[in-house]
Every structure is written in structure tokens, then in C-alpha cells.
Amino acid sequence: MRSTRNLVRPLLVLIHRWVGLFIAGFLFLTGLTGAVISWDHELDEWLNPQLIHAPVEAALAMNAGGPLLWAEEIERRHPEVQVTYFPLAAEAGHSLSYWVEPRFDQARGRFHEVDFNQVFIDPTSGRELGRRNWGAVWPLSRENFVSFLYKFHYSLHIPEMYGIDHWGVWLLGGVALLWTLDCFVGAYLTLPKRAPKRPRLTESSDGRRSYWARWRPSFAVRTRGGAYKLNFDLHRAGGLWTWGLLFVLGFTAFSMNLYDEVFEPIMTKVSDATPSIWNLRPPHPPHDLARPSLSFAQIVARAPKEAARRGWREPPGHVFYSREVDIYEVAYFAPQDEHGVGGVGHKEVYFDGQDGRVLGDFRPWQGSAADLFVQAQFPVHSGRILGLPGRILVSVMGLVVAGLSVTGVYVWYKKRLSRVRAQAGQRLRAGAGFLTEGQAALKRA
């Protein structure tokens, strides 16, 4: 048993070292950006009050007629785009944010080129407060800075290559998978190298407690042993104290970035998941996107009836139309609950874009075990499942992840420097020994 462990431990040290070095840079960047984007809406509002702030009365905020009217007005002002998403009520003091997508130009055989995908409207007057390109890489400005960080966090903004535009998502998904597995490797390496042959009578007659006594120093941080010991202890103890949260963040990042490729095929071996409404229909090709027979207004008019049938008390909060699969989505929530609300999301009803029939709905915390597991992935990763306390915790953990990356690289660098110096010393001693033997041979001659 001991010989087996003596073989396993060096192998795991090697794995932890090189996996850690490979993922350290990625985790440093995603950790810092994750700490920031936990507050994406608050930061966006602070940076761009000219877009997000608007004086709106409470009565107007709850009137869906205005948002519907302004959606039509946007398409009249900008015929090259199509409105696909907008809130049905404005939070007091805030503007309405409309998401738009370029229309396909049949004459040129390509989409219209537009430099914006979001339009902000004053709910009272319908005045356009501004436009921006959410998630744009360049030019980087205060308008798109937060969205740049948000998209960078899960994709690194790696551009499209060979017709595939999610290389960055795959890369970070692989990094997260390695991170998840390395959590177990790192935890194993903190265990005492050898269990005691027998319990120490001075500690306890229970051998397990003696074993814990030898493991306990791994949770401590020495502050007077120099920079190396401090970084080593911060890396080891920091990983142990936050191990559960590190594992959860790594696992949820992997599950979201590699959902179709890895996570779902494995999950379905354990529990059946309800097929997503968005995957039940084959998508329309880009040159022949769906054209709905029903308007936003007609769909929104049906939304309260569907909520009443289900016993839902929340008002319609937003409406979205997918041109790829010809489906409308209506979500139900109060205006102040659109962002940062706890739980796993809002209630939703899905309508067919041609005849308006109900295709299904989404009810938080309902479904199979796999359904519940999938629902929780993003809310857990972002901390929003716990509301404000969860977002604070995730923001702190982003800094922890970045710190563990730095301390891990520092420990490796110092160890490598020591090995290089030791090898150089051995070569010098070997050379000196060779010279001494040569001199003795000359004297004998």
C-alpha cells in the first residue's frame, strides 16, 4: 500500500504542476473578470447613465402599450434591423433596452452591416437615448466596456475561424474541465505523506485524530517564514478553505461551455432531461429566417391569459422572438426583479410565431433531476441563486481564483529556480572534482 502511494504521489505532483501552469493564466483573467461582472448591471449603470437613466412615472412603467409602440418606432427609424427582445415594463427611473438584429439583405445575399445591437428608449417620450454594440471588441468605450468584460469572461473574444465562432468557449470549457479535475489532485496532495504507524498517546488514542493533527497545518498560513513560505501556504490553505466553492465554479463553467459537447451526453446517462424548446425545431438558414405571422402586440395580448391559467401572479416582464426557430418567449416578473433576482430564473411561456399556439412553458425548480441540475448551473456559477449575498461571494471567489493562480506560478518558479541552482552547483562540483583528479594524475606522471 505504501509503495503504491509513493508511486502515485509524484505522478500527481507532476500533473498538478503542469496542469496548473497551463490553466493559471486563463484562471487569472477569468477570475478577475468574474469578480467584476458579478456587478455588471450596476457598473453599466454607473458608466452609462445617459443610456440607462430616464425619468419615468410608475404608472407608465407598468404600461406595456408604450414598449410595444416604441419597438415599432425603432424598426421605422432603422429599417435595416429587426427588434427581437425588449422589456414590457420599465423600472422606475430607467430606460427601456431593446435588442435588435440585422435583417438579411436578399439583394446582396448577406446581412445588413450595422454597428449596434442595442437601442435605449425613454419610456415616456419614445426618444432614442443612444445605441451601442454590446460585447464589441473594438472600439472599446465606456458604452461597451462592461459587456466586453462579460463576453471576454466566457469566450476570450477569440474570433471566428473555419466557420466556427466558439473556439474561445471550447477553450475555456476545456480549461474549466481541467480545473475541476485538478481540484481533487490538489486536495490529495495536501494530505500527509504517510499515515502514522500508530496513534500518539500524547495526542489521542484515536488514530484518525492523530492523522488530522498532521493534516491541520495545511490549513494554516505562516506569515514569518519569508515570501516563498507565505505564497506556498496561501496557495495550499487558500485552496483547502475554499475547495468546495472552487469545485462548484469550475464544474459549472465546464458544464455551460461544453454543454452540448460533453456535459449533456454524460448527464443523460444518469437522468433524462426534458428537451429544450429551442432544440425541438430545426433552425432556419441565415438566408431564409422565419417571418412571424403574429406581431409582438398579438403575442403580448395572450400572455396574461396564459399566466392566469397557470395561477401565476407575476406580470409579463419581457418578450423575445427567435428568428431561427420562429418562437416567441414571454417571461413573467416585476420590473425591479429583472436583474440579480435569486433562484433559477423567471417563469416563461413559449408561443408559435405563425399561429400563436402555446408550445410549452418553463417553471423554475420543476422537472426531472437533470432538469433541476441544468437550471441551477448559471445561477450557481454567477451566485444569483442566492441573490445579493451570492453575488458578493462569487465576486470574492473571483479574486481568490486569481490569487491562487499567481501564488501557484510563484511557488513553481521558486522551486524551479532552486533546482536550476542545485544542478549548476552539482556541475561545478563535478568539474572541480575532474580538475583535481587531472592535477593528481599530472603529479604522478
The answer to whether residue 148 sits within a structural domain is no
What domain range is 319 assigned to? 284-366
Peptide bond into 139 cis (omega under 30): yes
- The confidence score (pLDDT) of residue 192 equals 82
The answer to whether residue 103 sits within a structural domain is no
The answer to whether residue 439 sits within a structural domain is no
- The confidence score (pLDDT) of residue 163 equals 77
The answer to whether residue 336 sits within a structural domain is yes
- Compute how many other C-beta atoms are within 10 angstroms of the C-beta atom of residue 419: 10
The answer to whether residue 86 sits within a structural domain is no
- The confidence score (pLDDT) of residue 443 equals 56
Q: What does the alpha-carbon distance between residue 352 and residue 221 come to, in Å, rounded to a whole number? A: 59
- The confidence score (pLDDT) of residue 287 equals 84
pTM: 0.84
The answer to whether residue 335 sits within a structural domain is yes
Q: What does the alpha-carbon distance between residue 393 and residue 34 come to, in Å, rounded to a whole number? A: 11
- The confidence score (pLDDT) of residue 168 equals 92
For the chain, the domain total comes to 1
The answer to whether residue 352 sits within a structural domain is yes
The answer to whether residue 315 sits within a structural domain is yes
pLDDT along the chain (445 residues), means of 10: 68 92 96 94 93 70 73 94 93 91 88 93 90 89 92 91 86 96 92 62 53 80 85 90 95 92 84 83 88 94 94 94 96 82 83 94 88 89 89 95 95 86 74 57 53
